[in-house]
A = this chain, B = another copy of it.
Amino acid sequence: MFKMHGIYAPIPTPFDEKGDIAWGKLETNMEFFNTTSLTGIVAMGSNGEFVTMSHDEKKDFITKVCELAKGKKHVTTGCGCESTRETIALCEHSAKAGAAAALVLNPNYYKASMKDDVLRGFYQDVADASPIPIIIYNMPGNTGVNLSANLTASLAGHPNIIGIKETSGNIVQIAEVIHRTPDDFCVFSGSSSFLFATLALGGTGGTLALANIMPEECVRIQTLVDEKKYDEAAALQRKVIAINTAVTQGFGIAGLKAAMDMIGLYGGPPRKPMLPISEENKAKLKEIFDEARS
């Protein structure tokens, strides 16, 4: 069965000025990603603005990314929706399109109802029905709901649930998940800012916004850990936080897209209501970015 290891780029969805998907730009971007040292691509992750896309757009996008990555990069696909039925439909479509695994965000609008029994039922139903393996996606910053180590440990026994993308940044919880799940359960860092700590504790990779614009630096952190060069890895990690904080946290997806424009990829505007970053912030971003790559 597919195991998730290495660095994945959760790619933004390219939109044109009208807000439609810019398919040609996706091809150009994917050509670049295919030449990098990245292990894989995530289509329809948080950076993919998936919540702004219709069901049909999501399906088309997944199909296209799988096609463009074929034989070169693994593809995992963001399939989490508020309803179990729509989530399963996207898993099924992803399987047909050739995706390696489905990254499944928990439902989260009804926060007070997202107790462990509901969340457990959700993941079990999806995992039972999905033709491809499931990776749990914990993203409390956006969802307002945290998936506890307890819940994750109880789901890790399901044969079709192979790992978790942990974006909480709660390093104790991440360590607990690693401790309490089987050895072949994959624990991924959801941010380049705590990639090193996750790997040092036994994690197997990362799905990192920063991997879209600095893929080799991200891969290098994991290579250094694999080679037991921890001091070098820690030093690179500490340096990477500044750029990651500025590009992907400070300015959000619009900032990531602006940075992609700066390095010759296509970023373009986010879909409305999100706004492109201002010219003033673009200048700030360029300064930070140039410094980080010097």
Contact = CB atoms under 8 A, between A and B. Distances in A.
A110 interface: yes
A83 interface: yes
Interface residues of A, number: 62
Contacts of A82: 51-52
Nearest to A202: B234
Contacts of A172: 169, 191, 193-194, 241, 245
B193 A237 contact: no
Interface string A24-59: 000000000000000000000010000111110000
A171 interface: yes
A228 B143 CA distance: 38
A271 interface: yes
A176 B55 CA distance: 40
Given A169-B172, A275-B118, A110 B253 contact: yes
B179 A239 contact: yes
Interface stretch (A3-11, A119-127, A155-163, A213-221): A119-127
A127 to B, nearest CB: 12
A141 B252 CA distance: 23
A112 interface: yes
Given A19-B83, A52-B107, 17 more contacts: A52-B82, A54-B86, A83-B273, A85-B271, A110-B274, A121-B275, A122-B272, A169-B170, A171-B197, A172-B194, A175-B194, A179-B238, A197-B200, A200-B234, A201-B237, A201-B238, A228-B228
Interface in A144-196: 144, 169-172, 175-176, 178-179, 191, 193-194, 196
A113 interface: yes
Contacts of A193: 172, 175
A23 interface: no
Nearest to A52: B83
Given A54-B55, A238-B178, A272-B125, A113 B169 contact: no
Contacts of A273: 83-84, 107, 118-119, 121-122, 125
A175 to B, nearest CB: 5
A223 interface: no
Contacts of A274: 110, 113, 118
A241 B112 contact: no
B237 A112 contact: no
A18 B125 CA distance: 14
A253 B142 contact: no
A143 B54 CA distance: 20
Contact of A141 (B112, B239, B241): B112
Given A83-B273, A179-B238, A273-B118, A51 B169 contact: no
